[in-house]
Amino acid sequence: MKKILIVEDEPGLRNNIKELLSRHGFAPLTASTLSEAMHYTLNHKDIALFLLDVWLPDGDGFALCSRIRRHTLTPVIFLTACDDEESVVKGLNLGGDDYIAKPFRTAELISRIRANLRRQESLHAVKVLYSGDLRLDLRQGAAYKNGAMLPLGAVEYRLLQILMQNAGCIVKREQFMEKLWDASGKFAEDNTLSVHMSRLRKKAGAEYIETIRGFGYRFRQPVTERLE
């Protein structure tokens, strides 16, 4: 179960949120002061999300958010009656991820929590594309064939990525050209595209890349995606 720290000085509301989160499969922790919340932040590295009240007996949620950001990028949701634009902007500028005004609807709170957790998980998930003996690691920016790294240049890697992400579909030459800006902001030349594609086909294997004369290219084999 994902741990969520509730920082709220009003006992009734704090307990209600704790019960709500427990019913929805979370493991809630509670704190009523800034100092208590900082103790959790420093000693519980597995907290998945922070719910912060703005006004606390020994400080405020804005200061707490700033301190949290010194140690972790874990999602922070402000939960407060102060929903004026200035407070919202201040909280977000300090590193907050979301802002929910009191009184709030319980369904909305749970939905916002889950949305922020999904967003955080996607940042850490590594998408890898597989096809036959090819493996394209999007985090590393590298391609492998039979476990050995392919010596691809930057353009060749980008071409392979575009092809594999559009497997089975014809990618027109002009679509490649639109995606292959060089550092000066100019389009790659059409004959340069042909040269790079020819080199990529030799390295990756002719069985993967099909030339559709007069149109463009197509990745011929099925591709699967995994989050690793």
How much of the chain, in percent, has pLDDT values that exceed 70?
90
- Asked if pLDDT for residue 189 goes beyond 90, the answer is no
85-94, 181-190, 199-208: which has the highest mean pLDDT? 199-208
**What does the pLDDT read at residue 191?**
63
Q: Which residues have CB under 8 Å from 114's CB, separation 6+?
A: none
Structure tokens at 155: 């353009």
Distance from chain centroid for Cα 68: 19
What CATH code is carried by the domain that includes residue 141?
A: 1.10.10.10
**What does the pLDDT read at residue 77?**
92
Cα-trace Rg, the chain: 25
- Does 205 lie in the same domain as 172? yes
- When pLDDT is cut at 50, 70 and 90, the band that residue 183 belongs to is very low
- Does 80 lie in the same domain as 132? no
- Does 167 lie in the same domain as 109? no
- Tens of pLDDT along 115-161? 889 887 766 666 899 999 999 998 778 899 999 999 998 889 989 99
- Does 42 lie in the same domain as 132? no
- Tens of pLDDT along 21-57? 999 999 999 999 989 998 888 888 889 999 998 888 8
> Rounded to two decimals, what is the model's pTM?
0.56
- Does 7 lie in the same domain as 120? yes
Helix (H, G, I), strand (E, B) or coil at 53: coil
- Asked if pLDDT for residue 182 goes beyond 60, the answer is no
- Does 135 lie in the same domain as 75? no
In which domain, by residue range, is 144 found?
127-227
- Does 112 lie in the same domain as 25? yes
- Does 20 lie in the same domain as 56? yes
- Does 117 lie in the same domain as 13? yes
For the chain, how many structural domains are there in total? 2
Structure tokens at 114: 């889950």
- Does 120 lie in the same domain as 175? no
